[in-house]
Amino acid sequence: MTKNETKIRKQIIEACLLMEKKGLNQGKAGNISVRWKDGMLITPSGISYEGMKAKDIVFVDSKTKPHGIWKPSSEWRFHFDILKERKEFDAVVHNHPAYGTGMSVLRKDIKAYHYMIAFLGGDTIKCSTFAVPGSQELSDAALKALKGRKACLLANHGTITCGKNLDEAMFLTEEFEILCKQITIAKINGKPQLVEKKHMKKIIEAIKMYGKY
C-alpha cells in the first residue's frame, strides 16, 4: 500500500466520521467510494466507522473483484457503475440523512424551490424508482436518476451525491441535506414557491464558472 493510497483510505474514513458528526448519517448506514487506479476504494460492509483503519477499506478492481480483509459495501454496484459511467466524478457518497431520506419516501423529484439546487447539476433533483438495496436494478435506477446531475434521491432509501473529488462530494452532500431540510420547513409553514425557469437557467450557467477565473 503506497503512501498516497493510505492517505486516500484515511480521507474516506474521516469523511464517514464527519457525516456522522454533522448528522448526515448514522450507525453502519451509508458508504463512500473514491476512484483509485483501474477501480475504486470503498468502505467495507457492516463495519462501524468508529475504529475503522486504513487497512479496512476495500479495493474493487476493474473486473469487480474485491481485495481486502472485508467484503465491500453491499452497495458497491452503484458506486462502481457511477464511477465507470461518469468519468467526471472521482468520489461517490451514499447516505441516509433524515430530511433527504424523508424526501425519498415521497418518490417525487425535488423542484427548484431554492437556487442552490443548481449546484447539484440542474433545476431538479431526480428520484429513482425503488429497487432492492445492493441489486443491479438499484444501480441502473441510480444511474438513470443521476443523468446530467451530481445527486439523486433513491426511492424509500436515501441519497447519492457525486463530485470531482471527495471534498466536492462531501460539500454537496451537506448542501443536499440542508436543501431538503429547508424545503420541508417551507412545506410545513405554507406552499413554497419555485424559482422561475428563466432565472434558474441563468443561475445554472453562472455556476459552471463558479470558483473559476
> Could you give the number of structural domains in the chain?
1
| DSSP bridge pairs for 34 | 41, 91
CA angle 145, 124, 183 (to 5 degrees): 115
Q: Which three cell numbers stand for residue 62?
A: 476493474
Q: Which domain holds residue 64?
A: 3-207
Residue 213 within any structural domain of the chain: no
Predicted local confidence at residue 26, as pLDDT: 82
Q: What is the pLDDT of residues 2-18, one digit of tens each?
A: 999 999 999 999 999 99
pTM over 0.85? The answer is yes
Task: Compute CA distances 44 → 10, 52, 69, 122, 174, whole Å.
Answer: 13, 9, 9, 32, 22
If you average pLDDT over residues 120-133, what whole number do you get?
97
Q: The CATH number of the domain where 175 resides is what?
A: 3.40.225.10
Binned at pLDDT 50, 70 and 90, residue 48 comes out as confident
Mean pLDDT of the chain: 95
Helix (H) and strand (E) counts in the chain = 6, 7
With respect to residue 212, please indicate whether it lies within any of the assigned structural domains: no
Among residues 14, 75, 88, 175, the one annotated as catalytic is 75
- With vertex at residue 192, the alpha carbon angle to CA 189 and CA 196, rounded to the nearest 5 degrees, is 165
Section 127-144 average pLDDT: 98
The residue type at 185: I
Torsion sign across C-alpha atoms 203, 206, 212, 213: negative
- Three-class SS state of 168: helix
Give the pLDDT mean for 53-75: 97
Q: Looking at residues 138-153, what average pLDDT do you find?
A: 98
The 10s digit of each residue's pLDDT in 29-43 is 899 999 999 999 999
Question: Distances from the Cα of 60 to the Cαs of 43, 70, 71, 194, 213, in angstroms?
Answer: 10, 11, 10, 42, 37
pLDDT value at residue 211: 57
Tell me whether residue 96 is in a domain: yes
CA angle 172, 9, 3 (to 5 degrees): 125
Residue 75 a catalytic site member:
yes
% residues pLDDT > 90 (the chain): 91
pLDDT at 213 > cutoff 70 = no
pLDDT of residue 134 exceeding 90: yes
